[in-house]
């Protein structure tokens, strides 16, 4: 059996090697490494795929979030509502810009922002909400947008884990994750569902004015060459990455479908296991399974389980062991243990298995069999 990987980018590349190499060669031959035609082409293709007016490519997903917030020029100390249960980048940019992260609970089933707690935590200082479509499934965007509208708050979707997911509104209409709020940010980190061969990111919006501000900010706040109207950053997607991403975008739906099939396989085997809770699939969003994350019952020793699987050659991960409100870097915001009980409980019991688009059936069989055998052996 081939070694099991958390993410298998080697076998994925093998299948598209010729196509990718041809596109890389075009960039090399043109020597247009920065803002070359490949960037423009990819931007157009992603706009079309997402049915969004503007895609602004940038250097990574963290920059995408930061630039969106820079474009709004919120007064220092303004409050931004964000789940604590997310990758640190979502919170980091809020803090970096001198804004105040207000940590919101998540729903214990979906792992996404809890609407009731969100509503409770809105104050006169609130300016924005950053829902995170965690593990590949959309947050409750319809309710969230309604609350945002009532309080005149901006909504910036962190879509780093959910590119290609779509949300179904109660009237039956659908929209792609990242295009529902005022702006969305995504990441093309290699292990993301649409991954580059290096860093990359993008901002999505349907707002023309916001798009032009963002375009300026990612390019040193420049309105025309050597005229700088605002303080900006240097954040670009390079042409090589854009060329690679344009090839991979064609396969994204296929990759997401394969991930879904893997998740369905796992869940069909783990459903009956009393010490495992399989991922919840919401009726209003499809799931693109950036992660396949199980919850362990009380009394199951997670470290032992991980060590046992590691010994068998099965990698696994904890996303995330420490919630952001309890991270050392964010102690100045005054949170303590017990402030977000659902979040803290999840961090103590979640556990993610390998998921990607390149499994061999025997690998999946081995994983499901090994996981199920754990309890009898401990």
Nearest to 246 by CA among 196, 208, 288: 196
In this complex, which beta carbon is closest to ligand PLP, that of residue 58 or of residue 364? 58
CB of 304 to ligand PLP, least distance (A): 27
Q: Does 62 bind ligand PLP (CB under 6 A)?
A: yes
Report the alpha-carbon distance of residue 370 to residue 378 in Å, rounded.
13
CB of 209 to ligand PLP, least distance (A): 25
Q: Does 136 bind ligand PLP (CB under 6 A)?
A: no
- Segment interacting with ligand PLP, rule: CB under 6 A, options 10-18, 19-27, 58-66, 369-377: 58-66
Task: Report the relative pairing of strands 79-83 and 100-104 from DSSP bridges.
Answer: parallel
In this complex, which beta carbon is closest to ligand PLP, that of residue 291 or of residue 316? 291
CB of 352 to ligand PLP, least distance (A): 12
Q: Does 193 bind ligand PLP (CB under 6 A)?
A: no
Q: Tokens 């031959």 map to which residue?
A: 29
71 to 238, 253, 348: CA distances (angstroms): 22, 31, 36
Site for ligand PLP in 159-178 (CB under 6 A): 160-161
Residue 335 · residue 91 · CB < 8 Å: no
Select the residue whose beta carbon is closest to ligand PLP and give its number: 61
Q: Does 292 bind ligand PLP (CB under 6 A)?
A: no
Residue 287 · residue 165 · CB < 8 Å: yes
Q: Of 43, 60, 78, 258, which one interacts with ligand PLP (CB under 6 A)?
A: 60
In this complex, which beta carbon is closest to ligand PLP, that of residue 218 or of residue 364? 218
- Segment interacting with ligand PLP, rule: CB under 6 A, options 54-62, 102-110, 221-229, 244-252: 54-62
CB of 158 to ligand PLP, least distance (A): 5
Q: Does 132 bind ligand PLP (CB under 6 A)?
A: yes
143 secondary structure, DSSP code: H
Q: Does 255 bind ligand PLP (CB under 6 A)?
A: no
Determine which helix (DSSP H) or strand (DSSP E) holds 176, and give its type and residue range. Answer: strand 174-176
Nearest to 110 by CA among 144, 138, 88: 138
Residue 176 · residue 145 · CB < 8 Å: no
In degrees, rounded to 5, the angle at the alpha carbon of residue 369 between the alpha carbons of residues 291 and 295 is 40
Mark residues 199-238: x for contact with ligand PLP by CB under 6 A, - for none.
x-x-------------------------------------
Q: Of 12, 187, 219, 343, which one interacts with ligand PLP (CB under 6 A)?
A: 187
Residue 216 · residue 223 · CB < 8 Å: yes
Contacts of 346 (CB under 8 A, 6+ apart): 85, 106, 108, 111, 295
Site for ligand PLP in 70-129 (CB under 6 A): 86-87, 89-90
In this complex, which beta carbon is closest to ligand PLP, that of residue 58 or of residue 305? 58
CB of 185 to ligand PLP, least distance (A): 7
Q: What's the burial of 153, exposed, middle or buried (CB within 10 Å: 0-12/13-18/19+)?
A: buried
59 to 62, 80, 259: CA distances (angstroms): 8, 23, 26
- Segment interacting with ligand PLP, rule: CB under 6 A, options 69-77, 106-114, 153-161, 262-270: 153-161
Q: Which residues bind ligand PLP (CB under 6 A)?
A: 60-62, 86-87, 89-90, 132, 158, 160-161, 187, 189, 199, 201
């Amino acid at each position: 059996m081939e070694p099991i990987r958390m993410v298998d980018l080697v076998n994925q590349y093998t299948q598209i090697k010729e196509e990718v190499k041809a596109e890389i060669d075009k960039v090399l031959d043109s020597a247009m490494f920065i803002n070359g035609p490949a960037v423009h082409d990819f931007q157009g293709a992603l706009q079309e795929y997402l049915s969004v007016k503007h895609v602004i490519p940038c250097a990574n997903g963290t920059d995408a979030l930061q630039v969106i917030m820079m474009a709004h020029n919120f007064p220092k100390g303004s409050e931004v509502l964000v789940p604590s249960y997310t990758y640190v980048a979502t919170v980091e940019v809020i803090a970096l810009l001198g804004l105040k992260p207000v940590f919101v609970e998540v729903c214990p089933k979906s792992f996404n922002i809890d609407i009731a707690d969100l509503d409770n935590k809105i104050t006169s200082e609130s300016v924005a909400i950053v829902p995170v479509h965690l593990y590949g499934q959309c947050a409750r965007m319809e309710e969230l947008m309604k609350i945002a509208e009532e309080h005149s708050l901006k909504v910036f979707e962190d879509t780093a884990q959910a590119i290609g997911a779509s949300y179904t509104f109660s009237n039956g209409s659908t929209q792609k994750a990242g295009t529902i709020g005022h702006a969305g940010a995504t990441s093309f980190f290699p292990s993301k569902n649409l991954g580059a061969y290096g860093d990359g990111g993008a901002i999505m919006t349907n707002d023309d004015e916001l798009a032009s501000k963002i375009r300026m900010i990612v390019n040193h706040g420049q309105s025309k060459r050597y005229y700088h109207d605002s303080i900006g950053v240097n954040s670009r997607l390079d042409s090589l990455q854009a060329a690679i991403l344009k090839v991979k975008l064609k396969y994204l739906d296929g990759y997401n479908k394969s991930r879904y099939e893997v998740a369905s396989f796992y869940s069909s085997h783990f459903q009956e296991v009393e010490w495992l809770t399989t991922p919840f699939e919401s009726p209003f969003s499809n799931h693109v399974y950036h992660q396949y994350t199980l919850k362990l019952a009380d009394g199951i020793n997670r470290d032992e389980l991980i060590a046992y699987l590691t010994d068998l050659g099965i990698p696994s991960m904890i996303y995330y062991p420490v919630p952001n409100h309890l991270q050392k870097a964010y102690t100045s915001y005054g949170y303590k243990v017990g402030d977000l009980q659902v979040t803290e409980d999840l961090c103590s019991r979640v556990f993610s298995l390998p998921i990607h688009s390149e499994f061999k059936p025997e690998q999946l069989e081995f994983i499901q069999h090994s996981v199920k055998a754990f309890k009898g052996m401990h």
